[in-house]
Amino acid sequence: MSVEFFKPTFRIDFNKLWKLGITISVIACTLSIGTIFYRLYVSKDFNWGTDFSGGTELQVQFKNDIDIGVVRSHLAKGGFPTAQVVNFGDAVDREALIRIAEVSEGGKNPSQEMMAVLTKELGEGSVTLRRVDEVGPKVGRELKINAFISLILASFGILLYVWFRFTPEFAPGGILALFHDVLVAAGVFVFLNHEFDLPIVAALLTIVGYSINDTMVIYDRIRENMKKERTGNLAEVVNNSLNETLSRTILTSLLTMFVVVALFIESYGGIRDFALILFVGLISGTWSTLFVATPTVIWLGNRKKRLAARQNATGNAVAAR
């Protein structure tokens, strides 16, 4: 027996909501583009992780409670004025992340030097090094380029899959939904100024997979109903298909959301950021299926019919002569 989130008699008229939904999506995408552009080129404070920017990152644990501002001042006094220091984990953990643009080179080891500074200022045994990550600037640039290429290749592969599995009218809507979801999720993440690194790219690729899977379910139902309901009204067929799969869409999204929220609450650092961007992507993915992918199918389908009708009318006129 299948579980229904809504009663069979429950219906939403998506035809009346599509204009509002598309407007909200356009605004969200515009704000996301504006936020990313501002961080990259205006304020120039885009929070690239060490994976992409290059440098040294230390995870340290303090024996006693300590103010992050004090740690910054100690490092600045010890020759690291540009060191970025942020809390890591819960307050009881007494951990922090320290990041600088320098890497080990020519006998210089920034991680050891910073630990020496902190040990000198705070006392022996007051600070423990938990982890060190180093990425050279050249490797960071290569990782950044490869991450961007991976998103493009994933989207292109999905475009080909949708194009061959369905009619060409379905593919653009699926791709628009993908770009919508990635853009909105990345925009929210950048707005919050969280660290953008390789795990976040992995999260974006996960969103791409989740989004297209949700869209394919709706597309399959639309295609089935197009064969059964030969009324010629594509908007009505799509609206019926969305209502028939609405329970499945909501239940799948909610169950996945429970896992992501639990992950967000019980974790910290990179895992929490991963869960955060997935949370935004799940909401955006469900929204784009309803208000980006399917309206695009309707617009392209109706456009195809209008062109066919115009060609038939032109052909009939020529034949009448």
Domain count, the chain: 2
Residues 281-300 have pLDDT tens digits of: 999 999 999 999 999 999 98
Averaged over 36-40, what is the pLDDT? 94
Residue 93's pLDDT is: 76
Residue 8's pLDDT is: 64
Residues 23 and 75 placed together within one structural domain of the fold: no
Averaged over 311-319, what is the pLDDT? 66
Residues 22 and 61 placed together within one structural domain of the fold: no
Residue 27's pLDDT is: 97
Whole-angstrom Cα distance, residue 13 to residue 242?
10
pLDDT over threshold 80, residue 11: yes
Residue 321's pLDDT is: 60
Residues 26 and 152 placed together within one structural domain of the fold: yes
Whole-angstrom Cα distance, residue 62 to residue 281?
35
3-12, 36-45, 101-110, 157-166: least confident range = 3-12
**Any bridge partners for residue 128, and if so which?**
61
Cβ neighbours of 71 (radius 10 Å): 24
Return the sign of the alpha-carbon dihedral for residues 293, 283, 279, 51. Answer: positive
Residues 113 and 166 placed together within one structural domain of the fold: no
Question: Has residue 5 been placed in a domain?
Answer: no
Residue 7's pLDDT is: 67
What does residue 296 show for φ and ψ, rounded to 5 degrees?
A: -65, -40
pLDDT over threshold 60, residue 3: no
Residues 89 and 104 placed together within one structural domain of the fold: yes
* 100 — pLDDT class (breaks 50, 70, 90): confident
Of 119, 125, 64, 69, the residue nearest 92 (C-alpha): 64
Cβ neighbours of 194 (radius 10 Å): 17
Residue 138's pLDDT is: 80
Whole-angstrom Cα distance, residue 274 to residue 272?
5
pLDDT over threshold 60, residue 1: no
Question: Has residue 320 been placed in a domain?
Answer: no
**Domain limits at 61?**
55-135
Domain boundary among 97, 119, 135: 135
Residue 209's pLDDT is: 86
Residue 318's pLDDT is: 58
Averaged over 96-106, what is the pLDDT? 81
Provide the strand spans (E) within 142-289.
none
* 231 — pLDDT class (breaks 50, 70, 90): low
The model's pTM = 0.82
CATH number at residue 73: 3.30.70.3400
pLDDT over threshold 90, residue 197: no
CATH number at residue 20: 1.20.1640.10
Residues 183 and 307 placed together within one structural domain of the fold: yes
Residues 169 and 278 placed together within one structural domain of the fold: yes
